[in-house]
Amino acid sequence: MISMDDFEKVDIRVGRIIEVSDFPEARKPAYQLRIDLGPDIGIKQSSAQLVANYTKEQLQNHLVLCVVNFPPRQIGHFRSEVLTLGVPDAGGNCILITPSREVPAGGRLY
């Protein structure tokens, strides 16, 4: 088990997807995302395997939850700076975790 102190080290923030691009170089179908995480964190990049459940148009302006304090990961030529959070559907494809109401970008999960 982890302690509450351990959990509190994970910085999960609300972001708004502002740009979605195809990522044909990815091993599994994915998009490249630019996410606005509010004035304190700014705009960050993320790669996410969302192609099975979302079109680029559906993702535009969509609110998401992201881990912002993991180290960046290099995925081919793309640097993923935040982890966009989701859960698997019945087929194992990602469904995004999103706030149920409109909230400001940058809000921290608690």
Got the DSSP string for the chain? ---HHHHHTS-EEEEEEEEEEE-TTSSS--EEEEEE--TTT-EEEEEE--TTT--HHHHTT-EEEEE-SSPPEEETTEEE-SEE-EEE-TTS-EEE---SS---TTPBP-
Query: In this structure, is residue 75 part of a structural domain?
Result: yes
Tokens of 78: 């793309």
Domain-located, residue 107? no
**Count of domains in the chain?**
1
The confidence band for 10, taking pLDDT boundaries of 50, 70 and 90, is very high
**Any domain includes 5:** no
User: What count of other Cβ atoms lies within 10 Å of the Cβ of residue 27?
Assistant: 9
Determine the average pLDDT of the residues in 17-46: 96
Mean pLDDT to the nearest integer, 47-76: 97
Residue 9 is predicted with a pLDDT of 95
Range of the domain at 66: 10-96
Q: pTM of this prediction?
A: 0.94
Q: What is the CATH number of the domain that holds 74?
A: 2.40.50.140
